[in-house]
Chains A and B, each alone.
Chain A
Amino acid sequence: MSATRAPTRWCWSWKNGGVEVHRLDTAWFPVQLRLSARLRGGRWAGHLRTEHRTVELEAIHAIWYRSPKAYRFPPELNTVELDHAKVEAKYGLGGVLMSLPVLWVNHPSRLADSAYKPFQLAVAARCGLNVADTLITNSKASVESFANEGRTVTKMLGAVSIVEGGVRKFAHTDLVDDAGLGDLRGIEVTVHQIQRWVSKKHEARIFVVGNHITTVAIYAHSVSGYIDWRTGYDSNTYELIEPPASVVAGVRRLMTEMRLVYGAFDFIIGPDDTWTFLEVNAGGQYGWIEEATGAPITGQLAELLTKGNSDRNRD
């Protein structure tokens, strides 16, 4: 199960529970989704309407917002018309939604901020978390110099997956070997993230849902999985563990500073039990770990969303 399946579970489990859940896909706008909103007393009132349901804006008290898709406009629009429609929809529909005084998990602007890995790393370090030595560059000389100082990996800053020529491709974290260092052509084309390899016993993912913290050790049992556990789903094993208090404190500080209410943190646990922060994914998946460990993360999210909070993360 993926995190994105969580709404399915909520819709199913809450169908008789008195909690009204509506699912909307931003890609439905404008063909399958209509918006009508008027400013009333400092908040937007009106509705979102599909063929099958109407959502009153004033009745919303919490929004789970994850992996929203781009709007889909009629193909007949020319390029100028399409650009215009995108801009107006973004500032119009996006503006109405993001200004609703509801609990967002997470707020769109905070998601946008958190997408910047260099920003995350800097915040994490300021919050007292141990952070891997990192180089962000498009300079060959800088890559060579950094790699000469020790074992090095490279990982994407954002685009870990692309569709090229109709084929979906994925780039996992990789060691930078002699062959890679011997031909750095293309480094200068864009920014690359180069990071010091961190020795590890195993890795861990910490899920923060409001005040709940759930930590799961991830044990890789393959060579590639030891470098990037995302290559080892077939053989990874998982275990609920307790992180050190200092790590929990740093995680909570980061959540506060980045104004997130949900986050999936990835850490490396070294041979000396040092926890090294890799990243926080504000929309990180948890479902397969919940299946493997029984960690009640869906329940925590459902509780958080049911409770709502009108002041918590208004922007």
Chain B
Amino acid sequence: MQVADITPRPGRDSYRFVDEPLAGDSAQFPLSRGSLGSRPRDEPSRVGVRPWGLRRMAPVPFRGVPSSKGRYDPVRQVRVDGEGRPLIEMGPPTAPTTGSTDGSEGDPSEDYVND
């Protein structure tokens, strides 16, 4: 098994910020895993290299009718449709995702399924 080199080097001497193995100060005020960007051409590693648990990872099947995406209205602080009507007034979302129905902007939420 290959062992990753985690020796501090110039340019990554603050590695403890993202790679601290235990909680320490690095886990306080936690944010999402934004530092671990996925490259579009990432492929699963060969068996033996890929963690055993990741073999169970499967694409999330999408069922239902996608909710209207709308846009975030920063003044009213809610997501609205093209005519400015709050999506919250249109009933529960019909898709098992939170990304397009919450009021936040940008990337879909990490809780793609209810958890």
Contact = CB atoms under 8 A, between A and B. Distances in A.
Interface residues of B, number: 67
A2 B114 contact: yes
B111 interface: yes
Contacts of B86: 8, 12
B38 to A, nearest CB: 4
B29 A94 contact: yes
B101 A1 contact: yes
A52 B91 CA distance: 27
A87 B101 CA distance: 31
Interface in A91-132: 94-95, 97-98, 108-109, 111-113, 115-116
Contacts of A7: 77, 102-103
B111 A285 contact: yes
A8 B98 CA distance: 12
Contacts of A83: 11-12, 14, 17
Interface in B11-67: 11-12, 14, 17-18, 23, 27-35, 38-44, 47-60, 63
Interface in B59-82: 59-60, 63, 74-79
A164 B50 contact: no
B103 A11 contact: yes
A184 B57 contact: no
B57 A67 contact: no
A171 B58 contact: yes
Given A70-B34, A80-B11, A189-B50, A90 B17 contact: yes
A230 B113 contact: yes
Given A22-B77, A68-B32, A108-B30, A169 B51 contact: no
A272 B42 CA distance: 47
A2 to B, nearest CB: 4
A67 B102 CA distance: 12
Interface stretch (A40-48, A153-161, A241-249, A250-258): A153-161
A27 interface: yes
A9 to B, nearest CB: 6
A223 interface: no
Given A112-B23, A165-B38, A94 B28 contact: yes
B113 A189 contact: no
B6 interface: no
Contacts of A84: 14
Interface in A34-74: 50-53, 67-72
B27 A112 contact: yes
Contact of A4 (B88, B104, B113): B104
Nearest to A292: B92
Contact of A168 (B12, B49, B59): B59
Interface in A1-21: 1-5, 7-9, 11-12, 15, 21
A12 B53 contact: no
Interface in A152-207: 154, 156, 160-172, 174, 180, 183-190, 192
Nearest to A266: B115
A69 B30 contact: no
A135 to B, nearest CB: 13
A309 interface: no
B5 interface: no
Nearest to B108: A168
A170 B50 contact: no
Given A2-B114, A25-B105, A171-B53, A51 B74 contact: yes
A183 B78 CA distance: 49
10 contacts: A5-B103, A86-B18, A94-B29, A116-B23, A165-B39, A170-B60, A184-B52, A186-B50, A186-B55, A285-B114
10 nearest interchain CB pairs?
Answer: A70-B34, A94-B29, A2-B98, A186-B52, A112-B27, A169-B57, A185-B48, A52-B74, A171-B56, A11-B77
